[in-house]
């Protein structure tokens, strides 16, 4: 089996967020953080636009693909496609709480079927040499005891899975929307810590409600790694100091302005290949979060990246709104 990536800090797979453009931006900010695709269903990958779903930039490594499905043979076939396209990991989604996903018999509902999940993992393990991992919740609905979580992890681990990414709250499949399930019910970090104590040979990654790098050392005392999610959608530059603080590989932190200049080169290549500006442009909307002029920057991008024939000049114009404000702020502070 191929060597596992370093998962001390990961970025969660998030629908409509962690597309290849956003992942490329994050890689400009951090060289080490582990990235994941949005969840891709086996049906979409096998019967849809396969090349589009699997496409990523070589600079994104290490990057894992997250699959949604419950048919071992289909998952094995998709895992082979992922390996053939040079992904570093295949992750199985056992955490998505949406009704549509549950109706397709994948996502969080599979917490009730640990033996089936084990068969899915075994099928993928037999098909590829890259690591196969599982991302799950701590429970679903009334099936939320610690004993059941241990049974699930033990059963799936016996199929060869060594890494579990645990979103530290259960999912309500009845009565709550997917958005509500990101905030309710309460997080149970202690349950994930306990799981690591009970399964010391497994790699346990904690996910859920972590909003800053400063929180990570406290969790790292009890688990093997941490996964950030929604906080990065609003402020991707949170990762700027991650390589030094988390991976102990300090290097010069790339400024927001330099990051954007580099991303504009990427945008130019994407436009030349036929992509509209809106596709990569969405990735950079939160880049200046918390800085002077950020609101004007976000507004300008949001109002103009969707215009027909919009080009790099839109990003250049948006940058003037934030960089001009920053220079004014710098002069005020020196006065």
Catalytic residues: 96
Across the beta sheet with 63-68, the strand order is 9-11, 225-228, 203-207, 163-167, 132-137, 89-94, 63-68, 35-41
Return the bridge partners of 67, or none.
40, 92
| Rounded CA separation 69/109 (Å) | 11
| Rounded CA separation 305/282 (Å) | 8
Largest CA distance in the chain: 68
Residue among 2, 158, 17, 30 nearest 87 (CA): 2
SS3 276: coil
| Rounded CA separation 29/48 (Å) | 32
Return the bridge partners of 207, or none.
167, 227
Q: Which residues contact 15 (CB under 8 A, 6 or more apart)?
A: 38, 39
Return the bridge partners of 66, or none.
39, 91
Strand segments (E) across 69-214 = 89-94, 132-137, 163-167, 203-207
Reply yes or no: is the peptide bond before residue 297 cis, omega within 30 of 0: no
Residue 291 and residue 256 in contact, taking contact as beta carbons nearer than 8 Å: yes
């Amino acid at each position: 089996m191929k060597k596992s990536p370093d998962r001390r800090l990961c970025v969660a797979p998030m629908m409509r967020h962690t597309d290849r453009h956003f992942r490329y931006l994050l890689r400009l900010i951090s060289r080490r953080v582990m990235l994941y695709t949005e969840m891709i269903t086996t049906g979409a990958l096998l019967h849809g636009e396969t090349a589009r779903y699997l496409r990523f930039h070589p600079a994104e490594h290490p990057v894992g693909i997250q699959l949604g499905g419950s048919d071992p043979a289909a998952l094995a076939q998709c895992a082979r496609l992922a390996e053939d396209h040079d992904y570093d990991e295949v992750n199985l989604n056992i955490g998505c709480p949406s009704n549509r996903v549950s109706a397709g018999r994948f996502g969080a509902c599979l917490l009730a079927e640990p033996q089936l999940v084990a068969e899915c993992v075994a099928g993928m393990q037999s098909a590829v040499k890259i690591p196969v991992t599982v991302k799950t919740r701590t429970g679903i609905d009334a099936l939320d005891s610690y004993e059941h979580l241990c049974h699930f992890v033990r059963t799936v681990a016996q199929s060869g899975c060594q890494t579990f990414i645990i979103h530290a709250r259960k999912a309500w499949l009845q009565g709550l929307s997917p958005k509500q399930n990101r905030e309710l019910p309460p997080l149970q970090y202690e349950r994930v810590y306990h799981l690591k104590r009970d399964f010391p040979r497994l790699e346990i990654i904690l996910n859920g409600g972590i909003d800053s790098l400063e929180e990570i050392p406290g969790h790292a005392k009890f688990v093997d790694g941490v996964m950030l999610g929604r906080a990065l959608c609003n402020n991707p530059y949170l990762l700027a100091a991650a390589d030094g603080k988390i991976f102990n590989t300090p290097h010069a932190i790339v400024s927001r302005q330099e990051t954007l200049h580099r991303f504009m080169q990427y945008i130019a290549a994407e436009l030349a290949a036929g992509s509209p500006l809106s596709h990569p442009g969405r990735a950079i909307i939160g880049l200046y979060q918390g800085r002077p002029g950020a609101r004007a920057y976000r507004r300008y991008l949001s109002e103009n990246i969707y215009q027909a024939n919009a080009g790099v000049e839109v990003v250049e114009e948006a940058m003037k709104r934030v960089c001009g404000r920053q220079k004014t702020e710098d002069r005020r502070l020196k006065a």
